[in-house]
Structure 1
Amino acid sequence: MNDPIFVSERARQEEVFRFIAASASHGGAPVKRIDTHGAAVFLVGDRALKIKRAVRFPFLDYSTLARRKAACDQELEVNRRFAPQIYHRVVPITRSAEGKLEIGGAGKPLEWAVEMQRFDESRTVDHLASERPLASDLVDAIADAITASHAAAPKADTATWIASLLPIIDDNTSAFKAANFPADAVAALDGATRSAFEHARPLLEQRGAQGFVRWCHGDLHLANIVLIDDRPVLFDAIEFDPAFASVDVLYDLTFPMMDLLHHGRSEAAAELLNRYLVTGEDAHLDALGTLPLLMSLRAAVRAKVTLSRVSNDSEAARRHRCTAESYFALAGRLIAPPPARLIAVGGLSGTGKSMLARALAGRVPPLPGAVVLRSDVIRKQLFNAAETERLPVKAYAPEATAEVYRRLGERAARVLAQGHSAIVDAVFAKADERAAIAAAARVTSVDIAGLYLVADLQTRIARVATRVDDASDATPEIVRQQQAYDTGTIEWITIDASGSPEQTFNRAVSALKLRDQR
């Protein structure tokens, strides 16, 4: 039976929606309407009006005008943390004494809307990722925006966050059964997810005690990141219940990572993770083992939400079903990661080690790809210097270099202990340096593959001479000095790096027998 209150509310809303959707209400300007399960958004010129629907779900209640007004106020407050340039004000839709509907009039409010700055919808990252691979500087900028949002996010209650996970798993499984997904696949995902959760629970609780459970964005899929003035802006954060967005920061991060994987952009997903690890808290390195659970949960929730989309259009319904099935399949892949491995990339300055390591990361399982550990970055951290700050000569003394390699091995062991793969990037000119990184793999019972890049002197000098904004302090003179290195017998795979980066990458992929993870 229909709730008479809802019938009345919805009838009044439909009148408001017709008014807002009419171009005559905006001086003849065309109006584009976008409907979601919880809101209707009207795009007119450079303006957007978002009205909460008169609906009630287990996780939100917009059933009365007062509740919708409160939700609009909350959305404005929450999202100004992320996108103040988009969110302007809450405006009433009123009826005048003459019975005329007005936006922001002085009459009695019939409805409330969040007024926003309209942006180019084709510049959301989901559209960009669908069209072409994302540029490295864009991925870095997205990671930096997420890092900044996490640094500013208020700390939240850990127990509530942990307690929410099993009900999420229950809801996902119920939705998949109701949608008649293959019973064995549903049961396998459910069992593996519960097992992974129980295994990760102590670490998640520990991270909460460390302050990593915060009031985050909460809904950070790629469609909620947009480029404005060529800078990524996070928007449409969860506002209806702070508990839904009060999560471990890594759970917030895994949403865009997972979505990039769904778009077939494993290289960007790996790059997003690596940039976040370099700019964020060091303790995240010891939580990589939670990524299969957190990414799989994100994919499963996305599948469930997609299933809930109602459409009277049979073709749209078919697309929703296919999308939900692909997210479900991804959830199954993510929860069962393959074994980790260690790849060492060595070579003299100018051979292209760092470029290769970065390019390989997205190809190395498990998803989203390997963590890249670069000796140049670790050396800068050792001396508390910015990544592109030039260090003095003493920073390259033998004892300093020995400490850099010690830390490189220690960090690699931490990554591998989490069941995650690592790529270590360093010169590795000495036999004992190569032996030490191999030992780190043996300690964690992980397979290691060593690549040693070679290129002629003039090629290496030319490459180093053109570097800008890079962590390496190598100069053409240092490249010449390295010619005198006694590298001993190098038992690693030798890779000809004298050609283009693409040629070096293809040779390395072939030598390592790596497959595309899409």
Structure 2
Amino acid sequence: MTGVSSGIAAEQIETQAAVFAFLADPATHGLAPPDKSGQGVAASVTRIETHGSVVFLAGADAYKIKRAVRFPFMDFSTLEKRRLACEHEIAVNRWNAPEIYLGTVAIRRDANGLHLGGTRGTIIEWAVHLRRFDETQTFDKLAEAGLLDLDLIPPFADIVAAAHEHAPRCGEDIDATRMFFNTLQDALNAVTAARDIFPSESADAFKKKALGLFAGLEPLLRAREKAGFVRLCHGDLHLRNIVLHEGQPLLFDAIEFDDRIATCDILYDFAFVLMDLWQRQLHAHASRLFNLYLWRSPDMDAALDALATLPLFLALRAAIRAQVTVALSRLEPDKRAQRIAEAQRFFASAEAFLESQPLCLIAIGGLSGSGKSTLAKVLAPALGHAPGAVHLRSDVERKRLFGVAAHERLPQDAYRPEIAPQVYERLRDLARSALLAGHSVIVDAVHATAEERALIEDIAASAGARFTGLWLDASAETLCARVDKRKNDASDATAPVVRAQLAWDLGPMRWQRLDAAQPLSELTELAIKAIG
């Protein structure tokens, strides 16, 4: 790949060429040569190039060299700047992936040639030393192969939530909202300037809509910055920078070249991976990740209020990817047509994220084991703005009320009759917040009384949202069998609990009743028809 070398000394470029050849040689890494017969296969070194770095995969190790390049957003033009960037890359990635990031290593030159590490000779380059992982296990590769299992989403949500909680808060001297606006302006200007790639009318309309949204959201963005939600984040949180390593997702390759780029609202950081999943048509994955992340939020009220920003955050992430892909099309003439098509898909996604969507509140009621949560997960991706409806679950909110993790079992005392009204009131408050932020909602709770059902309907009416109530029916045998099979679930219900519920007087039922014993695909189809 051709980098931007304007102003870079020819000597540096020649030196890096020698370093690249040195690291590409299997002998540098002590890898086996062909056998004497010439029939053996030499151990190879794999070279991976980006606009800012070159990575060499050799046996169990990987070495990443910063290119001697200068971009408006990235400057590796001197050896000292590259050393500092290598050290900072270790610093910003060690918390997320200590198993991978091993340290920095010098490439030296003496009379005998180049050396990797050691103390002999003059340092001519620096590298980040990593423990090599299976490159086929990055999330983008898994997604392309259809192997990104939904079972990976819960641990991934845990890791992202933990990373954001751990991330350092920004200082008061950083105007992150202004920095965000500048990033938005740069992306919009780049999109409107590429008139040979993006239709000018569409690009101009997108720019106008995005700037209008920012103007309305600026007070919220500044309030979140003041409240501490702007932090030094990963900054480049897309599927290519997540790997399944020893059975667990790991975040790697966080932005190291400019902390200002990585300093952002945690929801904007999170929006990158949501956008990536969504534009790959992995809507169920994006929806599940979105809701699990919300459930893990230490401040659910603030998280829901922030959802007003999410369409703009998603759109900007997609627009930046379109901008970067256009730039790559100019650096890679042989891939120009492919890159332009990719850029146009990203821009189409950016436009879609800003389109208005119907606002709805879906309440799913039914006794324990009727499949409320299962149905909610399936319905959520198709409702409202990407990445789908907020899924509020009474079991999760009850656990939150008592300060325990979703899968931690509560004592019987937490199920006293006076607790239920508190849980339902909390659900209604959260639903109202999400609706007022412009996001559709699914409330998943038993709703055993006519009063509970009427109160949740009132929330929809007060927020101007369309309401649909669904009641799931199933036999005692089906309900008890389902709760007995549950594992790692937020519900604490047991078969005796179900049998007690069966004796309840549900009162008049105005909600659409559905047979929950039928296959999920058929139940989903009926639910979608009821929602309209």
What's the TM-score, normalizing by structure 1?
0.95
180-189 or 416-425, larger mean C-alpha shift: 180-189
Runs of 5+ consecutive residues of structure 2 not aligned to the other structure: 34-42
1:5 Cα offset (Å) = 4.4
1:177 aligns with 2:180: no
1:159-308 aligned within 5 A: 159-179=174-194, 180=196, 181-280=198-297, 281-282=299-300, 283-308=302-327
Partner of 1:102: 115
Mapped to 2, the partners of 1:459 and 1:127 lie a distance apart of 39
What's the CA shift string for 1:178-208, capped at 9, x where partnerless? 4321001111111111111111111111111
| Amino acid corresponding to residue 136 of structure 2 in structure 1 | S
10-19 or 504-513, larger mean C-alpha shift: 504-513
Mapped to 1, the partners of 2:83 and 2:513 lie a distance apart of 65
Partner of 2:126: 112
Mapped to 2, the partners of 1:312 and 1:163 lie a distance apart of 30
1:352-363 aligned within 5 A: 352-363=371-382
Mapped to 2, the partners of 1:88 and 1:103 lie a distance apart of 15
Partner of 1:364: 383
1:271 Cα offset (Å) = 1.1
User: After the TM superposition, which segments of 4 or more aligned residues of structure 1 sit over 4 Å from their partners?
Assistant: 1-5, 310-315
1:437 aligns with 2:451: no
| Amino acid corresponding to residue 175 of structure 1 in structure 2 | A
Computed over aligned residues only, the root mean square deviation of the Cα atoms, in angstroms, reads 1.8
Partner of 1:389: 408
473-482 or 378-387, larger mean C-alpha shift: 378-387
1:337 Cα offset (Å) = 3.3
Mapped to 2, the partners of 1:2 and 1:144 lie a distance apart of 41
314-323 or 217-226, larger mean C-alpha shift: 314-323
Partner of 1:144: 158
Partner of 2:142: 128
Mapped to 2, the partners of 1:349 and 1:2 lie a distance apart of 64
| Amino acid corresponding to residue 476 of structure 1 in structure 2 | A
Preserved CA contact (<8 Å) 2:5 2:70: no
What's the CA shift string for 1:476-497, capped at 9, x where partnerless? 1121222222222222122111
292-301 or 21-30, larger mean C-alpha shift: 21-30
Distance 1:437 1:134, change over 3 A: farther
Preserved CA contact (<8 Å) 1:65 1:111: yes
1:503 aligns with 2:506: no
| Amino acid corresponding to residue 121 of structure 1 in structure 2 | E
1:311 Cα offset (Å) = 6.6
Mapped to 1, the partners of 2:114 and 2:412 lie a distance apart of 73
Partner of 1:487: 506
375-384 or 189-198, larger mean C-alpha shift: 375-384
Preserved CA contact (<8 Å) 1:238 1:245: yes
88-97 or 438-447, larger mean C-alpha shift: 88-97
Preserved CA contact (<8 Å) 1:157 1:246: no
- Equivalent residue of 1:309, what SS? helix
464-473 or 272-281, larger mean C-alpha shift: 464-473
What's the CA shift string for 1:166-189, capped at 9, x where partnerless? 322222233223432100111111
Distance 1:385 1:39, change over 3 A: closer
| Amino acid corresponding to residue 279 of structure 1 in structure 2 | R
Q: 2:88 aligns with which of 74, 81, 93?
A: 74
Mapped to 2, the partners of 1:511 and 1:231 lie a distance apart of 39
1:423 aligns with 2:442: yes
Mapped to 2, the partners of 1:270 and 1:359 lie a distance apart of 9
Distance 1:483 1:39, change over 3 A: same
- Equivalent residue of 1:434, what SS? helix
What's the CA shift string for 1:31-72, capped at 9, x where partnerless? 111111111111111111111111111112111111111111
| Amino acid corresponding to residue 174 of structure 1 in structure 2 | N
Q: Percent of aligned pairs with the same residue?
A: 45
| Amino acid corresponding to residue 115 of structure 2 in structure 1 | E
What's the CA shift string for 1:105-129, capped at 9, x where partnerless? 4211221111111111111111222
Mapped to 2, the partners of 1:458 and 1:67 lie a distance apart of 68
1:378-417 aligned within 5 A: 378-417=397-436
What's the CA shift string for 1:348-379, capped at 9, x where partnerless? 11111111112211121211111111111112
| Amino acid corresponding to residue 330 of structure 1 in structure 2 | S
Q: 1:9 aligns with which of 5, 12, 21?
A: 12
Matched residues, number: 512
Preserved CA contact (<8 Å) 2:55 2:63: yes
Preserved CA contact (<8 Å) 2:396 2:490: yes
1:473 Cα offset (Å) = 2.0
Partner of 1:84: 98
Distance 1:510 1:95, change over 3 A: same
Runs of 5+ consecutive residues of structure 1 not aligned to the other structure: 514-518
What's the CA shift string for 1:100-158, capped at 9, x where partnerless? 12211421122111111111111111122223374343111111101111111111146
Mapped to 2, the partners of 1:313 and 1:473 lie a distance apart of 56
Distance 1:199 1:510, change over 3 A: same
Preserved CA contact (<8 Å) 2:176 2:225: no
